[in-house]
Amino acid sequence: MEQGPSSRSEVVPPHNENPKFKNLIVLIEGKPFFVNKKMLSRRSPILAELIDAMEPNQDTITLTDVDPSKFQNFLDFIHERRLSYNEGEFMDILEVAEKFSAFSTYNNCQHLVVISREIYPVDKLEIAIKFKFEDPLKCAIVDNFRSVYQLELVMSSEIILQDVYLMGLLFNRAISIRHSPTRFMGCNSLNSLNS
């Protein structure tokens, strides 16, 4: 009798090392990605359309205009292979999810960016603007600013200065930090001022 696997990595090997349980090869710049058709179809209507258009005996689709390493990060994310990602990896996942209209992946990734401890708040805001996060998510990021120094770092970012709503949040946060270290006037206060 064979013994079972000794670690999680043996149970769920990386995508490109275990074609045994996969029924589709996604080819990007000559690099094969072994995936499950149903899993990919559920995540992306665009990829589902490509898969549905395949001939019955076809087992490969070729994707262009996507970087293989970014697609690998996307696959890792949708298969929950890792618990944390860095700023660049989050941006890769968001870019691929946006490209293939993988909305649930896109939304899940946005929420993880907001709560990530791996990314500086300023960088989170830049990601939020680049990938058009909803205002409540931007608000959640700003709520985590704890010092005037962090706010000053934001002022050096040109991309952040282009978002009027965000500038209002940052202004409100600066006032609350300067005037009362124990009292926080968060996003709800700003929203009540706008009513």
DSSP per-residue codes, 130-185 = HTT--HHHHHHHHHT--SHHHHHHHHT-TTGGG-HHHHHHHHHHHHHHHH-SS---
Please name the helix (run of DSSP H) or strand (run of DSSP E) that holds residue 43, with its range, or none.
helix 37-43
Rounded distance, CA 143 to CA 49, Å?
40
pLDDT digits (tens, 9 = 90+) for 135-152: 999 999 998 888 888 888
Threshold 0.75, pTM exceeds: yes
What number of other Cβ atoms are within 10 A of residue 16's Cβ? 16
pLDDT digits (tens, 9 = 90+) for 40-96: 999 999 999 999 999 988 899 999 999 999 999 999 999 887 778 999 999 999 999
CATH topology of domain 1-119: Potassium Channel Kv1.1; Chain A (3.30.710)
Q: Where, residue-wise, is CATH 3.30.710.10 in the chain? A: 1-119
